[in-house]
Amino acid sequence: MRLVIRQDYDAVSYHVAKYVKERIKEFAPTANNPFVLGLPTGSSPVGVYRNLVKFHQAGELSFKHIVTFNMDEYVGLPRDHPESYHSFMWKHLFKHVDILPENVHILDGNAKDLDLECHRFEEKIDAVGGIELFLGGIGPDGHIAFNEPGSSLNSRTRVKTLAYETIVANARFFDNDITKVPNLALTVGVGTVMDAREICVIITGAHKALALAKCIEEGVNHMWTVSVIQLHPRGMVVCDEDATLELHVKTVNYFKSIEKVHEQLIGSDNVGLQGGVRSWGGVGATTYHQ
């Protein structure tokens, strides 16, 4: 996997947004071949969305041929509740850009048959040919989406009961009343995320430092579900300096040096978007740091 370290939250947000924009540009989506994006909610992606909106407003990025799948949604919360993930995505991204409403897919937490809803969601992903790039955040307990510790690393989209810790943490959005916090959610599974052709996890802040260390320096473990990124052929973590606080100095130095090598030795022009070297003094070898 690649670990890209940037100075702070804003720099991370800009880097990820720019990466998404360049990936889409390179892909050159059309109506028949749209770019399928997996999207998270929470505080990690807010800066990314802000930058994507800026790119769109500057005319550099159109969402017309982009299909999106969100990771999760609360069960039983009305769709227009200000804390629903529908509202979150509308407020931070969809209302500012030209995405087509029929290309937006968010799990329906009010479906009569929740299991069928999850099944259908997986089918919709298959129908568009799978997810090209899945963005994600991470919880302090190393979870991706609502795949709390103990989730199967092969899981699919399903209903999950939220851990008590999560409910308490979320109470701040529900008038500090834990009885108002939904205790069930629909979420994509760890397996669903792994099926994407590329994964990019955004990890910022000192409170995520331990989770980051557990996920990339220790083994693949269902207690830290993001650790499964170690098994993905195209996994990338973008983090800020604060999130590296629990990593070994050796780890941080290694990943920083790769970037330096790319810049100085190979030249950033010759580095492909996904880390490959395009040309090296005539030798046509392609290497990937994954």
Partner 1 sequence: MQYPVALQLHNFISAPSSPEPSTPLPENTAKVIKITNCRVLKDRKIVEKDAIWIQDGKIIDPHKFFWYQKRLPDVVLDAEGLLVVPGFIEAQINGAFGVDFSVPSDQETYDRGLMKVSRGLLKYGTTSYCPTIVSSSAAVYHQVLPLLKPRPGSSDSGASILGAHVEGPFINEARVGAHELKVLQASANNGFQDFKNVYGFEGDTPEAQRKLSEENLHSVKIITCAPELDGVMESIPDLVKAGITVSVGHSMANTLQAEKAVSQGATFITHLFNAMPQFHHRDPGVIGLLGSRLDLPRPYYGLICDGIHVHPNSVKIAYDSHPEGVILVTDAMSAMGLSPGNYQLGNMDVTKEKDRVVIEGTNTLAGSVITLDACMRNFIQFTSCSLIEALEAVTLHPAVLLGIQDSKGVIKPGADADLVFLSDDLYVKRVFVAGQEVDLGTIHV
Which positions lie near partner 1, rule CB under 8 A?
A: 57, 75-81, 86-87, 90, 94-96, 98, 100-102, 110, 114-115, 118-119, 122, 154-156, 158-159, 161, 182-184
Catalytic position from the list 72, 122, 132, 198: 72
Q: Establish whether 8 is a catalytic residue.
A: no
Closest approach, Cβ 131 to partner 1, in A, equals 15
* Residue 64 Cα to chain centre, angstroms: 21
d(CA 127, CA 118): 14
Least Å distance, CB 244 to partner 1, is: 33
Residue 155 or 204: the one with the smaller Cβ distance to partner 1 is: 155
CB of 94 to partner 1, least distance (A): 7
Classify burial at 125, counting beta carbons within 10 Å of its beta carbon; exposed 0-12, middle 13-18, buried 19 or more: buried
Smallest distance, Å, CB 235 to partner 1?
A: 22
Q: Which is nearer to partner 1, 53 or 203 (CB)?
A: 53
Catalytic residue among 141, 217, 242, 246: 141
Q: Which of 132, 148, 195, 198 is catalytic?
A: 148
148 classed as catalytic: yes
- Minimum Å gap between C-beta 230 and partner 1 is 22
Please list the alpha-helical segments (H only) found in 143-237: 164-170, 190-194, 209-217
Nearest Cα neighbor of 157 from 187, 112, 120 is 187
Radius of gyration of the chain (CA): 19
Q: Which CB sits closer to partner 1, 37 or 125?
A: 125
3-state secondary structure (DSSP) of residue 156: coil
Rounded CA-CA distance 70/25 in Å is: 21
The per-residue DSSP string of 17-37 comes to HHHHHHHHHHH---SSSPEEE
Helix H or strand E segment including 268: none
Note if 143 is an active site residue.
yes
Residue 72: active-site member: yes
Among the listed residues 56, 143, 222, 232, the single catalytic one is 143
Residue closer to partner 1, measured from CB, 156 or 256: 156
Tell me how far apart the terminal alpha carbons of the chain are, to the nearest angstrom: 4
**Catalytic residue annotation:** 72, 141, 143, 148
